[in-house]
Amino acid sequence: MNDGRAERLTKLPKYLFVEIDRKKDQAIADGRDVIDFGVGDPDGPTPDFIIDRMAAAIRDPANHQYSSSRGMPELRKAFADFFQRRYAVTLDPDAQVLVLLGAKEGIAHLGTAVLDPGDIALIPQPGYPVYASGAIFADAHCHTMPLRPDNDWLPKLEEIPPAIRQTASLMWLNYPNNPTAAVAPRSFFDQAVAVAKEHDILIAQDAAYNELFFDDPPPSILEVSGAGDVAIEFHSLSKTFNMTGWRIGFAVGQPQALAALADVKSNIDSGAFAAVQHAGITALDGFERAEVRGQRGIYRARRDILVEGLRNAGWSVDPPAATIYLWAECPAGVGSMDLATRLLDEADVVVIPGSGFGPTGEGYVRFALTVPEERTREAVERIAKLGW
């Protein structure tokens, strides 16, 4: 024990945003007009048609009791139907769809489900910190797969040392990517599945941003022939339907890995609130509704304002093809934490330093496209006035 804390907690990546958060909170307390691009939490409301279904379901006493940790059959079928419509992939709702308390819950618990102490997990960097945290909680080892701009922010699987490839148990992927906003082509998933088959590695692909795209719809890894034997994929209603606080997501794919994850969940939780699950069915059935599809247009407009404004200020920025993030290269000679600090101190603008996503994120900052257009315009005007 270390000051009452389990030893494994000391192995978790350090939270590098503490100082930024402290400064932001102090600026707000001082009455400064802070524009916050830090948190990837949609600012729009959940669509009314989903809220109306929730309002009805919450009054039904049948929904007030424990629900299965696997999720109700009707919701699993609704997601399988959605997957068939969206990706032309057939899923068995009983064996290949697992309801989660938000995708983050499943991502965090997967390590406990499939990794033994000393196993190796392949972790992309920069990346979502929970991939590594889940492996650490399982007392497994993490091997970093660097993501770099010269390879379109895709890991070079051929550069994984042979000894690591032969012994790794789990490979995390995340496309469309947080924080870089990169989109993986189908050919990359073909390669990843081939590597996984050759070396008996389970792929966990985090597809939380698959439905927030501005150009071509991103693929599912399960579209690759044979991927269902070696891969699971995480999906979420959070970003697609502005339902982050509702906590509902899915894991789909290889039955054995999902069964293991379900065993972990059955010992930890009692399933998502049934009323939320009914609302989830309604959301999936209404995926093509205008108010859902319209979210992409909202994020596109904000993206374009940011890209144009930052370019006019002298920054090097590429417009993302998906996600709710903009991954911007720092002006020459400025570190990501120094840049984030300066933007907050001198412009009252909050961004996330790339170094917070791992050392290979240094040299970039992340903007979340969760600020209304007029405030986004004001933010880029402030940034431009600093001079670069």
Q: What share of the chain is helix, strand, coil (3-state, %, to 5)?
A: 45, 15, 40
Which CATH number goes with the domain that contains 146? 3.40.640.10
Phi-psi label, residue 254: left if phi above 0, alpha if psi -120 to 50, beta otherwise: beta
pLDDT in tens, 348-367: 999 999 999 999 999 999 99
In a domain, 1, yes or no: no
Contact 183, 147 (CB under 8 A): no
The residue from 243, 262, 285 where one domain ends is 285
Q: Are 201 and 229 in contact (CB under 8 A)?
A: no
Do residues 142 and 163 both lie within one domain? yes
Q: For position 266, what pLDDT does the model report?
A: 95
User: Around Cβ 244, how many Cβ atoms within 10 Å?
Assistant: 18
Give residue 2's pLDDT band: very low, low, confident or very high (50, 70, 90). Answer: low
Contacts of 189 (CB under 8 A, 6+ apart): 205, 219, 221, 223, 224, 227
- 172 located within any domain: yes
The whole-angstrom separation of Cα 332 and Cα 200 is 43
169 assigned to some structural domain: yes
168 and 275 share one domain: yes
383 pLDDT band, cuts 50/70/90, is: very high
69 occurs within a structural domain: yes
On the question of pLDDT at 16 being above 70, the answer is no
Are residue 217 and residue 238 in the same domain, yes or no? Answer: yes
Q: State the DSSP H helix or E strand holding residue 379, giving kind and residue range, or none if neither.
A: helix 373-385
HSE (side-chain half, CA atoms, 13 Å) at 173: 32
At which of 256, 285, 314 does a domain end? 285
Same domain for 253 and 167, yes or no, is yes
Q: Is residue 131 part of a domain?
A: yes
> 388 falls in which pLDDT band (50, 70, 90)?
confident
Q: What's the mean per-residue pLDDT of the chain?
A: 96
Domain assignment present for 30: yes
Q: Are residues 39 and 98 in the same domain?
A: no
Q: Does 18 have pLDDT greater than 80?
A: no
Q: State whether 116 and 221 are in the same domain.
A: yes
Q: Is residue 109 part of a domain?
A: yes
Domain identity same for 74 and 22: no
In tens, the pLDDT along 280-310 reads 999 999 999 999 999 999 999 999 999 999 9
The CATH number of whichever domain residue 322 belongs to comes to: 3.90.1150.10
What does the pLDDT look like over 43-92, one tens digit per residue?
Answer: 999 999 999 999 999 999 999 999 999 999 999 999 999 999 999 999 99
Residues 240 and 294 in one domain: no
235 and 215 within one domain = yes
Domain boundary among 217, 252, 285: 285
Do the Cβ atoms of 277 and 99 come closer than 8 Å?
A: yes
Site of tokens 């979420």: 236
Mark whether 95 and 113 lie in a shared domain. Answer: yes
Comparing C-alpha atoms, which of 236, 203, 252, 215 is closest to residue 91? 252
Same domain, 261 and 304: no
pLDDT for 311:
97
**What is the DSSP secondary structure assignment for residue 234, as one 8-state letter?**
E
Cis peptide bond N-terminal to 126, omega within 30: yes
Do 105 and 25 fall within a single domain?
A: no
Task: Give the number of other Cβ atoms within 10 Å of residue 264's Cβ.
Answer: 18
Does residue 1 surpass a pLDDT of 60?
no
pLDDT for 13: 75
Q: How many domains does the chain have?
A: 2
Radius of gyration of the chain (CA): 21
CA distance 85 to 129: 32
What residues make up the domain containing 151?
A: 48-285
